[in-house]
Amino acid sequence: MENDSCDLLTYCDASMAKQWDGKKNHNLPPLRVLLIRSESGPLTVKHDARLAENKGLVKALGWHLIETHVCRLRRPPHPATFLGKGWVERITSAIKAQDIQMVIMDPDLTSIQQRVLEKTWQCDVLDRTALILRIFQQRARTAAGQLQVKLASFLYQKSRLVRAWTHLERQRGGFGFLGGPGESQLELDRRILDSNILKIKKQLEQVRKTRTLHRKSRQDFPTVALVGYTNTGKSTLFRALTGADILCADMPFATLDPTVRKIRLPSGQFAFLTDTVGFISELPSFLKLAFQATLEEIQEADLILHIRDIACTTSALQKEDVLSLLKDLRCSQPLIEVWNKADLVPHTQDDTTGLWTSATQKTGLKAVLHHIDTLLP
Ligand SMILES: Nc1nc2c(ncn2[C@@H]2O[C@H](COP(=O)(O)OP(=O)(O)OP(=O)(O)O)[C@@H](O)[C@H]2O)c(=O)[nH]1
Ligand SMILES: [Mg+2]
């Protein structure tokens, strides 16, 4: 594809980029990473979970997490550095002392903050959204998955261009801006991104048409989509129910591309089961837009199996995130809640709001199949 210079990798030093895909570079030591989570409110279980989730995201890329800092923001974020002066200096010392190569920031930074921090700290800086995108880049195996990730990456960069533009405009009082050198570069960047976005959207339109045709070819039987927060055990359950040899791993976003298999229900009726990409809190809107072709598999399903990791301390919050995303997607199909990882928590079977399963120990599967049977048209 032309103009690939806009790829996400331009955000980091090219030599560093070689190390990013840990799997392909066995000889290189993993990147030394420092993680910063900034909080403005009181520290709750939600924040602990977010920190643990961020650590999982870093680990998922095969990087080496050296230090983690939780900093409390007492004032609004600094426009140029996000963090206050004291924190910037403290992190500078930590970077030097620990030979850090990459700093991950959560929440997200503006492109200006990212550049100022990279210059100050003399190392690469990524925010949580870029980290998620990077994982998606590493996971995408199919051509459709790779196209979707590329689109997400361009949309991400475009959103950051707009912010940079607004910032410059403000500096110049919003007038007399035309013809400046900054403007022409921004305009050029924007045009390149727009043309790339348009091209990929056209290619993805073809993917959506093909998927629609595939769905039509399956319309003799109803479809059940496995949906849920990332790492809750969707693929493990899918494998237990279908016998399909798919990747199940203790990491976020192990699954990116949907997999479909036919199963036979206890009534003798057949149904298609679809394993899908996991959700995560504050999923950026451009990722939802880019993954439209995949999310359609959920929208078009006759029934949704919501797989929850019931042993996770923030299972209830994850449920809220999933339900809100399903609402965004206008999914109103019948839904079965599956309480997975039952082997990790003491429980009684008579709890009626969810179906207890252990996908690893293959328990509770019959009840799941039975419920699918009763709810399908
Ligand atoms: N103890 C226990 N672990 C489980 C169970 N189900 C899945 N796991 C583990 O949870 C981790 C994630 O499993 P996956 O099936 O890959 O989860 P997923 O929801 O498909 O994750 P993504 O595709 O990344 O969104 C793996 O290490 C599984 O072995 C279960 O019932 N009990
Ligand atoms: Mg999976």
**Which of 360, 363, 365, 368 has the most ligand 1 atoms within 8 A of CB, as the residue to mutate?**
360
Ordered alpha helix ranges (H), 69-127 = 85-98, 111-121
Domain map (residue ranges) of the chain = 4-137, 141-214, 218-375
**Which of 59, 136, 242, 248 has the most ligand 1 atoms within 8 A of CB, as the residue to mutate?**
248
> Rounded to whole angstroms, how far apart are CA atoms 202 and 150?
13
Q: What is the CATH number of domain 218-375?
A: 3.40.50.300
Q: What is the CATH number of domain 4-137?
A: 3.40.50.11060
Ligand 2 midpoint to CA 262 (Å): 18
Tell me the whole-structure pTM to 2 decimals.
Answer: 0.86
- Both tokens of 237, joined, read 């359950």
Predicted confidence at residue 206, as pLDDT, reads: 93
Predicted confidence at residue 352, as pLDDT, reads: 67
Ligand 1 midpoint to CA 1 (Å): 36
CA end-to-end distance (rounded Å), the chain: 44
Chain segment 88-126, per-residue pLDDT in tens: 999 999 999 999 999 999 999 998 999 999 999 999 999
Helices and strands, number each (H, E), in the chain: 12, 10
Secondary structure (3-state) at 35: strand
Predicted confidence at residue 74, as pLDDT, reads: 80
Instruction: Give the atom of ligand 1 at the shortest distance from the alpha carbon of 239.
Output: 15
Pick the closest to residue 297 from 262, 273, 324, 323 (CA basis): 273
Predicted confidence at residue 49, as pLDDT, reads: 87
Predicted confidence at residue 155, as pLDDT, reads: 92
> Rounded to whole angstroms, how far apart are CA atoms 228 and 315?
11
Is the pLDDT score of 264 beyond 90? yes
- More confidently predicted of 24 and 286: 286
Q: Please work out whether the CB of residue 259 comes within 6 Å of at least one atom of ligand 1.
A: no
Predicted confidence at residue 121, as pLDDT, reads: 97
Predicted confidence at residue 25, as pLDDT, reads: 53
Highest mean pLDDT among 8-22, 28-42, 175-189: 28-42
Confidence of residue 7 (pLDDT cuts 50, 70, 90): very low
